[in-house]
Structure 1
Amino acid sequence: MSTCARSSQVEDSGTAGSPRTIKSRVLDTGASLVQDFTPVKQVCAHLHAFHVYANDPTRCVEANHYCTHLTEDIRQCLIYDSPDHNARLIGIEYMVSPRVFVTLPQEERKLWHTHEFEVKSGLLIMPAPAGVPTSVWEAAETAEMRDVVPLYGKTYHLWQVDRGDPVPMGPPQLMGSFTTHGSVKMAHEKGLDGLLTGRNQKFGVDHHQKAKMRENIPGVEKHPDADAALK
Structure 2
Amino acid sequence: MHSATHAKDRDAEPKVAGEPRSTKSTILETGAAMTQDFSPLQNICAHLNAFHVYASDPKRFVEANHYCGHLTEDVRQCLLYDSPLPGARLIGVEYMIKPHLYETLPQDERRLWHSHVFEVKSGMLVLPQPSPLVPQALWDKAETAEMEEVVKLYGKVYHLWQVDRGDKLPLGEPQLMTSITAEGQLPGLEGVMDERDKRFPGCDWRKKKEIREGIVEPEVHPDADYTWKKD
Please indicate the TM-score interval, normalised by the length of the shorter structure.
Answer: over 0.9
1:74–1:94 contact (8 Å) kept in structure 2: yes
Larger mean Cα displacement after TM superposition, 36-45 or 8-17? 8-17
Using the alignment, how far apart are the partners of 1:171 and 1:64 within structure 2? 21
Report the counterpart of residue 34 of structure 1 in structure 2. Answer: 35
Q: Where in structure 1 are there 5+ consecutive unaligned residues?
A: none
* Other-structure match for 1:148: 150
Can you list the C-alpha shifts for 1:68-102, whole angstroms capped at 9, x where unaligned? 10111100000000000110000000000000000
CA contact (8 A) 2:14 2:87 kept: no
Tell me: CA distance 1:40–1:12, structure 2 relative to 1, closer, same or farther (3 Å): closer
Alpha-carbon deviation of 1:55?
0.9
Q: Tell me whether 1:78 sits opposite 2:73 in the alignment.
A: no
**Which residue does the alignment assign to 2:67?**
66
In the other structure, the counterpart of 2:195 is: 198
SS at match of 1:181: coil
Is residue 14–residue 89 contact of structure 2 (8 Å, CA) maintained in 1?
no
Name the Cα RMSD after superposition.
1.4
Could you tell me which amino acid in structure 2 is paired with residue 227 of structure 1? D
Aligned CA distance change for structure 1 residues 35 and 137 (closer, same or farther; 3 Å): same
Deviation at 1:11, TM superposition (A): 5.4
Partners of 1:10 and 1:86 within 8 A in 2? no
SS of the aligned residue for 1:140 comes to helix
* TM-score normalized with structure 2 length: 0.94
Distance 1:196 1:88 in 2: 21
Cα offset for 1:4?
Answer: 1.7
Shift of 1:10: 8.1
Q: How does 1:184-223 map to 2 (within 5 A)?
A: 184=186, 186=187, 188=188, 192-204=189-201, 205-223=203-221
Q: Which amino acid in structure 1 is aligned with residue 166 of structure 2?
A: G
Q: Distance in 2 between matches of 1:11 and 1:136?
A: 32
Residue 173 of structure 1 pairs with residue 172 of structure 2 = no
* Cα shift at 1:107: 0.5
Aligned partner of residue 161 in structure 2, secondary structure: coil
What is the Cα deviation at residue 121 of structure 1? 0.2
Are the aligned partners of 1:79 and 1:89 in contact in 2 as well (CA < 8 Å)? Answer: yes
Number of residue equivalences = 225
Written as runs of structure 1 = structure 2, the 5 A alignment for 1:67-146 is 67-130=68-131, 131-146=133-148
Contact 1:54/1:174, CA 8 A, preserved across alignment:
yes
Distance, in Å, in 2 between the alignment partners of 1:74 and 1:98 is 10
- Using the alignment, how far apart are the partners of 2:75 and 2:145 within structure 1? 18
Once the two structures are overlaid, the 10-residue window that deviates more, 175-184 or 219-228, is 175-184
The alpha carbon displacement at 1:13 in A equals 4.6
Shift of 1:5: 2.0
Determine what percentage of the aligned residue pairs are the same residue.
Answer: 56
Q: Secondary structure at the match of 2:171?
A: coil
Distance 1:107 1:146 in 2: 28
Question: In the alignment, what sits opposite 2:5?
Answer: 6
Please give the per-residue CA displacement for 1:47-75, whole angstroms capped at 9, x wherever unaligned: 00000001111111110000010111100
Offset at residue 198 of structure 1 (A): 2.2
C-alpha contact (below 8 Å) 1:176/1:230 kept by paired residues: no
> Aligned partners of 2:223 and 2:192: how far apart in 1?
29
2:23 aligned partner: 22
- SS of the residue corresponding to residue 128 of structure 1 reads coil
